[in-house]
Each structure stands twice: as structure tokens, then as C-alpha cells.
Amino acid sequence: MKLTLIGKIFDGERVIPKGTVVVEDDKIVDVIEGEENSRASSKTIYADLIMPGLIDAHLHFFGVEEDNVLSWNIVNEIDVAIRSTRDMETLLRSGFTTVRDLGSKVAVRLDRLQRRGEIIGPRVIASGYSLAITGGNDDPKELPLDFAQSISYSFYCDSPYECRKAVRKAIRQGATVIKVYSSGAFSQGGRILPGFALDELKAIVEESHRAGLLVASHAYGKEALMNSIMAGVDTIEHGLGLDEETAQMIKERGICYIPTLATYQIPFESVNPEAKMYREEMIRRHFNEDMKIAVEHGLKIATGTDYVGSKKRPHGQNYIEAVLLSRYMSNIDALRASTSVASECLGLRNVGYIRAGFKADLIAVRGDPLASLEELSPSHIMYVVKDGKIYRGYGNYSEE
């Protein structure tokens, strides 16, 4: 099938005031600048803006209602599968053609099913189970250890040897990225719980890179940031506590920074007032000093929401991360963070741009996100093209 899209184009890097994108089968075959170019096509789409499909570089398909560690682990897996299948379609019709799941029980299978055409959704870069220390961030400590491990979406590992084996187990599941916890959460007394030690992280990175997989590191605080950098991870997730020294090191090593601002807008419930107070102060700093430092140092910043598919963090509203990034950078840079920069951070070579030879992953938008990022909301997504197939977006309900 041949498809043409006509209108203003953001190609992932620059703006073309008027042009035509020609799609044949699953590839972009031509991008023509200037006046409207008519070609014989089975369908022509006119849009205010044509741009690459959006990318969320950090989310989870948890399929939960209540949003907490215990619920993420004990939720019925049939419920997770059904809800996550629904969330896949929601994401696609909201303009997301690629997402990266950094720890869940179903993402590897979701990607396999969408590639087979059995479900509708974005392509999923999936970590399978994440890697965590025993008693760490995602270990539901209310439960006996053996039972907690048996129902967890993380492999617990506690030595360089065990960490290498855990990487291999994730690869056996079908992982296409490895997710690690370089730090834990917040504890009483105003401190961040530790995650993997440096020797463990180095083992994880070495084993992952041997298999050709990138490593994404959950990092809160300077110790976790430094360990992540020294171990050679590829992306730093959250990155709370960034300072001038760590930012310079991240820049020098070409590591991507994914600040997941959207998740920190959600009210945090904790029975521990000290931990809550410390977390709120770290988040306040994240929205101010951390982001200022990241932008001033020219870090590669990509969009990632850490949304999980709960009532508080629902899939479909993931465009909010681009809106939040526009507080610190121009709208066009926020669009780059959502497309071309995110594709680079995920190690993808044929998406994130509108260029001849690239995958036909496009969205047709009503309105101009270059003027306001709010116009990336689902109500403005008219059509989504993924792998050359056309899907109606949520801004296009009125059409047959």
C-alpha cells in the first residue's frame, strides 16, 4: 500500500514548513519539501503537523489499580495481561509507536504478540524482569523472602556471579534491554537505601554488553549516580541528585538522562513522615537544580514517564512528559527528546526520524505542538502510522 501525508513536517530534527511524506509498505520512501506533491496513493492524509511517532523510554505494564510495591507484585497475572493489552492500544492511539518497559511480567509477551499482529500497540523494548538486590527497592518486604521472589517481577541477585546469571535469565525471557536498581527508595532518617554495589553493576554491564543489550539504571542520589557512571550503564533513569560533577561525567560518556518528571507529579503516600519529607525535598530539587544542570551541560535527555497503567499513572497521558520538559528547553527540543533523541537512547537506528529508508512510524496531528506541547494530547492525534499501517487516533473519533 502506498500512503502520502501532506502538511507541515517535523522530521525529528528540523521543521519543514510544507511537504509530503511518501510511505510504501512499512517504509518511508520519500520526503518532498515544498508545495503539495501529488502521487498516486491508496490514501492521502492532510495534517497540521506530521512528525515521528512518540517514544516513552521508561514505563511499566503493571496493570494495577492500587499503585504500590505490594500491588505491583501480587496483582493477578490474568488481570495484568488483559489490562496491559488494553493499555497497548491506548498508547498507540495516543501517538506512541515505541515504548520501553523497564520491568514487568508481561512486556516481552506483549511485544511478541504485537509483532505477530495479534494485538494492537507500539513496539516494546522490554527488560523482562528487572534486576534488584535482596531486600531492595521492589522487594515486598511484608512477605516471606521465598514467596516474595516467587511472585516478583525482579530477579534478586547479590554478588557479581549472581548478577551475571540474572542477566542471562532475563535474556532467556526475551529481554532486549537490562534494567538495574543502582539505588533503593527512601528510608527513615532521610537517606536513600542502597542498591547494587559497583562490582555488581560492572558485572551486569559487562554481561549485558557481551549480549549486545543496553543497561538502564534506576539511580537516586550521588552514590548511585557515580556507581552507574563508573560501571558504564547506557541510560540513567530518574537521576535525582544530579550535580555538576556527575553531569559532566554523564556528558563525557554519552550516557542518556531520563528524568521521568511526570511520575513525580503524583502525590506520594508513605507511613514514614521522614522518608516522605526527604523524598519531597529531592523531588523539589529534581524539578529545579537537577534539570537546570542537565540542560546546561547539554545531556541527551529523553522522555520517559514511569507510568504503570494505574488510575494515578494511566497509559495514554504519557505526552505530559514532553509538556514538563518544555519548562526547561524549547518546544522543538522537547519534541526531539520525544522522538529522535529517545530513539538514540534506546539504541534504535530506523525510527525517531522522518527520513527515506526509515520505518514508517508517524503521527498526523491536529494543531501545532511546536507552539504548545499540550497539542500532543490524545485528542489532537488524528492518525497513527506504525510499520506502514494506519490507525485512527483518539482525535479522530468522528470519522468512519
pLDDT tens-digit series, residues 125-141: 999 999 999 988 778 77
Q: What pLDDT was estimated at residue 377?
A: 98
pLDDT classification of 41: cutoffs 50, 70, 90: low
What average pLDDT does the segment 137-152 reach? 83
Band of residue 36 on the pLDDT scale cut at 50, 70, 90: low
Q: Is the pLDDT of residue 393 over 60?
A: yes
- Count other C-beta atoms under 10 Å from residue 311's C-beta: 9
Task: Please give the grid coordinates belonging to residue 211.
Answer: 549480549
Helix (H, G, I), strand (E, B) or coil at 282: helix
pLDDT recorded at residue 267: 77
What pLDDT score was predicted for residue 179? 98
- Indicate the range of 29-33, 35-39, 346-350, 367-371 predicted with least confidence: 35-39
**Which of 301, 271, 269, 308 is closest to 286 using CA atoms?**
301
Average pLDDT of the segment spanning 102-129 = 97
Integer Rg of the chain from CA: 21
* Cβ atoms of residues 232 and 278 within 8 Å: no
Q: Which of 149, 129, 128 is nearest to 140 (CA)?
A: 149
Domain 1-51+351-394 class? mainly beta
- The answer to whether 39 and 20 have CB atoms below 8 angstroms apart is yes
The residue ranges of every structural domain in the chain are 1-51+351-394, 53-344
Find out whether 236 and 242 touch, Cβ atoms under 8 Å.
no
State the maximum Cα–Cα separation within the chain, in Å, rounded to a whole number.
68
Question: String of b and e for 10-44 (b: at least 16 CB within 10 Å)?
Answer: bbbbeebeebbbbbeeeebbbbbeeeeeeeebeee
Rounded alpha-carbon distances, angstroms, from residue 195 to 53, 67, 143: 34, 22, 20
Q: What is the mean pLDDT of the chain?
A: 93
Q: Which amino acid is at 218?
A: H
pLDDT band at 400 (very low <50, low <70, confident <90, very high): very low
Confidence (pLDDT) at 189: 66
Q: Work out whether strand 15-24 and strand 2-10 pair parallel, antiparallel, or are unpaired.
A: antiparallel
pLDDT tens-digit map of 156-175: 999 999 999 999 999 999 99
Record the cell numbers describing residue 221, joined without a space. Answer: 542520589
Q: Which of helix, strand or coil describes residue 389?
A: strand
Decide if pLDDT at 270 tops 70. no
Using pLDDT thresholds of 50, 70 and 90, give the confidence band for residue 394.
Answer: very high
Asked whether residue 37 carries a pLDDT value surpassing 70, the answer given is: no
Query: Is CATH 3.20.20.140 the classification given to domain 53-344?
Result: yes
